[in-house]
Amino acid sequence: MKVLAGLRKYTSLYGEQRAHRGLRKWPNRNAWISEFILRETNKLRTSKQVSSRIQQLGAATKDLHCI
């Protein structure tokens, strides 16, 4: 699942200094993940689609450490 791969990559690049802020304070995260998905799969996913999917994953799976 490319959303998770993008989220992990974003977290590894930018997450350490922002980890204490929570999900809502990551500027341009969803746009970055959207571009990552486009580069990896050549499929366009909007920032809103990425946001919705991350929200679904967060609600369904509390043990994902990058969410």
Per-residue CA distances from 56 to 16, 39, 44 (Å):
23, 23, 19
User: One digit per residue, pLDDT tens: the chain, 67 residues?
Assistant: 788 888 888 877 776 555 555 555 677 889 999 999 999 999 999 999 999 998 888 888 765 555 5
What is the Cα–Cα distance from 37 to 46, expressed in whole angstroms? 10
In what helix (H) or strand (E) does residue 37 lie, and over which residues does it extend?
helix 29-41
pTM of the model: 0.63
> In three state form, how does the secondary structure of the chain look?
CHHHHHHHHHHHHHHHHHHHHCHHHCCCHHHHHHHHHHHHHCCCCCHHHHHHHHHHHHHHCCCCCCC
48-64 pLDDT, tens digit each? 999 999 888 888 876 55
pLDDT of residue 43: 95
